Amino acid sequence: MADNTLSRPPKMMHNFRRAAILFAGGPAPAANAVISAAATAFLRNDIEVVGIKHGYSALVEYSPSHPLEEGRDYVMVNHKMLGRTRNSSGIMIGTARTNPGKLVSHPSHLADPEKSAPLKTVYEALRSIGVDVLISIGGDDTLKTANKFKMFQERLPLDAHRIPIVHLPKTIDNDYRGIDFTFGYFTAVDFLAAEVRNLLADAEANRSYFLCESMGRSAGWLAYGVAIAGEASLVVSVEDVVGKYRTTEETVDPSTGESSSRPVMNMEAVIPRIVATMTAREREGKEYGVIVIAEGLAEFLPSKYLEGIGRDDHGHINISAVNLHDVFADLIAKEYNRQTGKKRKVNAVQLGYEARCARPHAFDVMLGSQLGVGAYRALVEKRLNGVMVSISGQLQLEYVPFDDLVDPETLVTVVRYIERDSDFQRLTRFLETYVDDGEVHR
């Protein structure tokens, strides 16, 4: 048998002429590694590549009287354009949060011409420029859109052209079901952890504290990683809002007058627990520290802190308008003064945006590149449709059907939280300042 380990995998027979690559949602380090590797794989196998600019924003505006325009709405990707891009920062085709599936929250909605109209427009826009296959890169909301786009096409006439779609998981939050780690996560953790270590030195010099709000809307992977690598004194995330730290609140819908209950943080327990870390450190001779909280805690704030706060196309609260770090810093400083009779400066800092386009580290470049190549292999080698490309072990490719990731009734994805008492969660508790429950004063 001939030794062909130094040979490129053979070209596969296919009938695809043009592939489109689309990136949606927030940026992530190694985005260009994913795009570049995917494009290269298709180009080297005689398939043209279209880079759709700024997510779905131009696609949903398409009409025969307002056609897609090369340069403005999409670019034809070539090898020269891809030179030395896998390690570059940013997103070469841009991104946006436009959601063409926002009106569809149940399979039956796909039969409603009005609710499915944006998906129909996207389909027609892609066909207008000859797209045969679509590679979707984005977070869980983009995965939901990819699934709805696939389902929309299943309702087309039998003789209609289908556009197979695969999805590549992206989020620095790392809260994706179906993959162990998402590209950009480790780069973001390292970048933000370096900031936390700098703040820790500042805090020590000034005998003060920094309250750092980390990105991580739904789960605490980023906050925990930053706390571990940044040597923070304590980390609190949504996974920690359980037991005595969780309560309920009655709310009334102003439009219907109906009342309902929602889970909220028990601020009378959470804030004293954070202060207990501060007083425990003082007993160790440390009058400084850094506390990390996840931005997703904003969803668990009592209503009095959320008055006038709106939500986006995906139903998420406008976290940037909450100023969670300021709320917590103020409450912590007041509680510390109440308990000790002393003052301790608590500086509020928001972390996250500066990490989203950081230069990617080697692991994220490798991970992102394999995901990009996986898109080609899923569509061309394996002739798959409606799968998310995943990776396990030593960059082993796996293909997870959308049906395994999306609820068939609500069409929403399931967030992957840090498991309570998991070894990852326990690692932070071993490393941070130890506090006995009896030391928490209320």
Q: What is the pLDDT of residues 227-244, one digit of tens each?
A: 999 999 999 999 999 999
pLDDT at residue 224 in the model: 97
CA pair distance 380, 11, nearest whole angstrom: 9
Q: What is the pLDDT of residues 167-183, one digit of tens each?
A: 999 999 999 999 999 99
Same domain, 42 and 70: yes
pLDDT of 58 above 80: yes
Question: 184: alpha, beta or left, given left = phi > 0 and alpha = psi -120 to 50?
Answer: left
Same domain, 294 and 381: no
Range(s) of the domain holding residue 262 = 187-355+419-439
DSSP 160-191: SPP--EEEEEB-TT--BTT-SS-BTHHHHHHH
CA pair distance 247, 262, nearest whole angstrom: 8
Same domain, 299 and 396: no
pLDDT of 115 above 60: yes
Q: What is the CATH number of the domain that holds 312?
A: 3.40.50.460
pLDDT of 118 above 60: yes
Same domain, 218 and 167: no
Same domain, 132 and 22: yes
What's the whole-model pTM score? Answer: 0.92
CA pair distance 367, 213, nearest whole angstrom: 27
- The answer to whether residue 12 is domain-embedded is no
pLDDT of 1 above 60: no
Give the three-class secondary structure for 129.
Answer: coil
Q: What is the pLDDT of residues 396-414, one digit of tens each?
A: 999 999 999 999 999 999 8
pLDDT of 82 above 60: yes
Q: What is the pLDDT of residues 378-392, one digit of tens each?
A: 999 999 999 999 999
Same domain, 144 and 292: no
pLDDT at residue 442 in the model: 65
pLDDT band at residue 308 using 50, 70 and 90 as cut-offs: confident
- The answer to whether residue 1 is domain-embedded is no
Same domain, 348 and 369: no
Same domain, 99 and 134: yes
pLDDT of 312 above 70: no
CA pair distance 439, 91, nearest whole angstrom: 48
pLDDT at residue 218 in the model: 87
Contact 251, 259 (CB under 8 A): yes
Same domain, 161 and 89: yes
- The answer to whether residue 3 is domain-embedded is no
Q: What is the pLDDT of residues 262-283, one digit of tens each?
A: 899 999 999 999 999 999 999 9
Question: 52: alpha, beta or left, given left = phi > 0 and alpha = psi -120 to 50?
Answer: beta
The burial class, CB within 10 Å (0-12 / 13-18 / 19+), for 246 is middle
CB atoms near residue 83 (< 10 Å): 9
Average pLDDT over residues 1-30: 87
Q: What is the CATH number of the domain that holds 161?
A: 3.40.50.450
- The answer to whether residue 412 is domain-embedded is no
- The answer to whether residue 411 is domain-embedded is no
Average pLDDT over residues 150-169: 97
Same domain, 93 and 149: yes
pLDDT of 43 above 70: yes
Total domains in the fold of the chain: 2
Q: What is the pLDDT of residues 341-359, one digit of tens each?
A: 999 999 999 998 899 999 9
- The answer to whether residue 6 is domain-embedded is no
Same domain, 344 and 365: no
- The answer to whether residue 277 is domain-embedded is yes
Strand partners, 146: none
Write out the two tokens for 173. 């939050």
- The answer to whether residue 425 is domain-embedded is yes
Same domain, 138 and 151: yes
